[in-house]
Structure 1
Amino acid sequence: MISIRDVSTVFTTAGQTFTAVDAVSLEIPRGSIQGIIGFSGAGKSTLLRNINLLERPTSGSVVVDGTDLTALGDEDLRRERHQIGMIFQHFNLLNNRTALQNVELSLKFAGVGKKDRRRRAQEALDIVDLADKASSYPGRLSGGQKQRVAIARALATEPKVLLCDEPTSAVDPRTTASVLQYLSDINAQLGITTVIVTHEMNVIKAVADNVAVMEDGALVEQFDLADLSRPGFSPATQIGRYLISDDITLERRPRVQQKEATLV
């Protein structure tokens, strides 16, 4: 479904070059949930934006459902992007528009008529159980509800692919579970190929079929989530082993003994 072939993305600032994505190749099957994990600066968000060419790769190709996006002109690329929904880390909702109007925006940009826009936006809100919040403005919604509006907006264009950039980092742990449940249900019921970028392994463990581990712009390891329950399995790389650990381990240092203050 998604074929990322030897993709590199290089940025140049003030005469200095920086390789954000370094010769990454990744095959994502139709209908699957692909996790991409790594620390901040690993290049995972840039790679995600390479998929819909919000960030055009410096080299390599991205093929989605048989179409090489990197070979398209601007007009054809805009048309293909309507088949790729995206959920952002910080919701990206317009505060002066209602939930319904925010969802309708993606359809307006896709050239859908007003009557169909309203119908499809309402259907998308219904999928995420927010039909009763259609007339509410973002300022009246919780963080979880805002993210669900963002999911509805991404679904309204009936995409083949759903890209999620840190979809739970701006919400609390209880809301995280709710958002992930919606993403999992949408994948199961609609068959939308989903890619989730995160630095949280518990998010990947909850929903993904496969995990790709990135470090310093490179794809350093990839394995199926089912492997984690296989006796004796351990990621091959140090960063892979670190990321799958649920524990926070600190080096215990002896405390400095404070001298009692002497009154003069």
Structure 2
Amino acid sequence: MISIRDVSTVFTTAGTDFTAVDHVSLEIPRGSIQGIIGFSGAGKSTLLRNINLLERPTSGRVSVDGTDLTALGDEELRRARHQIGMIFQHFNLLNNRTAQQNVELSLKFAGVEKKERRRRAKEALAIVDIADKADSYPARLSGGQKQRVAIARALATEPKVLLCDEPTSAVDPRTTASVLQYISDINAQLGITTVIVTHEMNVVKAIADNVAILEEGRLVERFDLAELDRPGFRPATEIGRYLISDDITLDRAARATKELSHA
């Protein structure tokens, strides 16, 4: 469904090149949920934006549902993006528009006529159980409700692919579970191929079929989440082993030494 082939993305700032994504290749099957994890600065969000070419790769190819997006002109790419929904970390809702109007906006850009926009927006809001907030402005919504509006906006164009950029990092732990449940249900019921970028392994464990681990822009490991339940399974990379650990470990010996030095 999604084919990322030898993709690199290089940014140039003040005459200095920085490689955010470094020769990454990844095949994502139709209807699956692909997790992409890594520390801050690993290139996760850049790679996600490479999929819909919000960030055009410096080299390599990206194909979605058999269409090579990197070969399309601007107008063709705009049309192709209507089949790729995106959920952002900070909701990206317009404060001067109601929940329904925010959802309709994506349809307006897609050229959908007004009556059909209203119907599809209401349908999308109903999918995430927030139809009763259709006339509410973002300032009157909780973080979880805002994210559900953002999910509805992404679904309104009836996409084949859903890209999720840190969709739970701006909400509390209880709301995180709710948001992930909606994304999981949408994947199961509508068959939308989903890619979720996060630095939280517990998020990937809860929802993904497969995890890809990035480090300094490179794909260093990939495995099915089912492997985590297999006795004796251990990620091959140090970063993989660190990220799947649920524990937070502090250097207590160093702290004790510091306290003694101040005694």
TM-score (norm 1): 0.97
- The structure having more radius of gyration, on CA atoms, is 1
**1:108 equivalent in structure 2:** 108
1:256 corresponds to 2:259? yes
Q: Summarize the alignment of residues 129-140 of structure 1 with structure 2, pairs less than 5 Å apart.
A: 129-140=129-140
2:55 counterpart residue number: 55
- Give the Cα–Cα distance (whole angstroms) in 1 for the partners of residues 234 and 259 of structure 2: 38
2:163 corresponds to: 163
Deviations 1:3-52 (A, max 9, x none): 00000000001100000000000000000000000000000100000000
**Equivalent residue for 2:90?**
90
SS of 2:108's equivalent in the other structure is helix
| 3-state SS of paired residue (2:246) | coil
Per the alignment, residue 206 of structure 2 pairs with 206
Equivalent position SS for 1:60: strand
Structure 2 residue identity aligned to 1:237: T
Q: Tell me the distance in 2 between the aligned counterparts of 1:170 and 1:132.
A: 23
Distance 2:131 2:47 in 1: 33
Moved over 3 A (4+): none
The 2-side partners of 1:22 and 1:44 are apart by 11
**Identity rate, percent:** 87
The aligned runs of 1:173-212 (5 Å cut-off) are 173-212=173-212
3-state SS of 1:56 partner:
coil
Return the letter of the residue paired with 2:131. A
Distance 1:97 1:77 in 2: 27
Separation of aligned partners in 2, 1:119 and 1:256: 64
Q: Aligned residue for 1:22?
A: 22
2:225 corresponding residue in structure 1: 225
Q: How does 1:64-79 map to 2 (within 5 A)?
A: 64-79=64-79
1:90-114 CA-to-partner distances (Å, cap 9, x unmatched) read 0000000000000000000000000
Partner residue in 1 for 2:10: 10
The 3-state SS of whatever aligns with 2:7 is strand
Paired with 1:179 and 1:131, the residues of 2 have a C-alpha distance of 16
C-alpha distance in structure 2 between counterparts of 1:17 and 1:131, whole Å? 47
Deviation, structure 1 residue 238 = 0.1
**Post-superposition shift, 1:256?**
1.8
Amino acid at match of 1:225: L
- Structure 1 gaps of 5+ residues are 260-264
Q: Which residue of 1 aligns with 2:38?
A: 38
Q: Distance in 1 between matches of 2:30 and 2:204?
A: 18
Offset at 1:249?
A: 0.5
CA shift at 1:215, angstroms? 0.2
Q: CA deviation at 1:86?
A: 0.2
Return the alpha-carbon distance in structure 2 between the equivalents of residues 27 and 231 of structure 1: 27
CA distance in 2, matches of 1:131, 1:43: 36
Which amino acid in the other structure matches residue 216 of structure 2? D
CA distance in 2, matches of 1:24, 1:237: 17
Indicate the RMSD between aligned Cα atoms, in angstroms.
Answer: 0.7
Tell me, which stretches of 5 or more residues in structure 2 are unaligned?
none
Aligned to 1:262: none
Deviations 1:217-243 (A, max 9, x none): 000000000000001000000000000
Q: Give the Cα–Cα distance (whole angstroms) in 2 for the partners of residues 229 and 83 of structure 1.
A: 34
Q: Output the CA distance in 2 between the equivalents of 1:169 and 1:21.
A: 22
Amino acid at match of 2:182: Y
Give me the whole-angstrom Cα distance separating, in 2, the residues matched to 1:196 and 1:41: 16
TM-score by length of 2: 0.98
